[in-house]
Amino acid sequence: MLNFLIVGAGGFLGAIARFVVASWIGQKWGRSFPLGTFFINVSGSFFIGLLMSLFTERFMVNPQWRLLLVVGFLGAYTTFSTFEYETGGLIKDGEWLIALMNVVFSVIAGFVALKIGEVITKVI
């Protein structure tokens, strides 16, 4: 039961962080390209790579930290379903090029961010 509460607490905070970050980016740079979702997916990929490498290769931590931070917080923070919905909306609106850019940039940047997170754990 405690593990459910830990994941739930992380998810609660991750969902709030997602809302705050996406709202701020949308207000600052507009919403014609889903930059908020893009940033969240890339930063979430980075932090998953960083934390999972730290937790599995560098430090012996209580497994509940992974539940709180990776499963809970980052699980709620990252927005793959929103990414899919926004990309579908761009296609529906005839914005094929922007939709393609969103897919390509999100996948490549997310993967690069994941790898950077893993590499950082090897140098600290």
pLDDT at 81 over 80: no
Per-residue model confidence (pLDDT) at position 113: 96
Per-residue model confidence (pLDDT) at position 58: 87
Full residue range of the structural domain in which residue 53 is found: 2-123
Tally of domains within the chain: 1
Instruction: Give the pLDDT band of residue 80 (cuts 50, 70, 90).
Output: confident
Per-residue model confidence (pLDDT) at position 68: 97
Q: In the predicted model, what is the mean pLDDT of residues 54-61?
A: 89
Q: In the predicted model, what is the mean pLDDT of residues 26-55?
A: 93
SS (H, E, C) the chain: CHHHHHHHHHHHHHHHHHHHHHHHHHHHHCCCCCHHHHHHHHHHHHHHHHHHHHHHHHCCCCHHHHHHHHHHHHHHHCCHHHHHHHHHHHHHCCCHHHHHHHHHHHHHHHHHHHHHHHHHHHHC
**pTM score:** 0.82
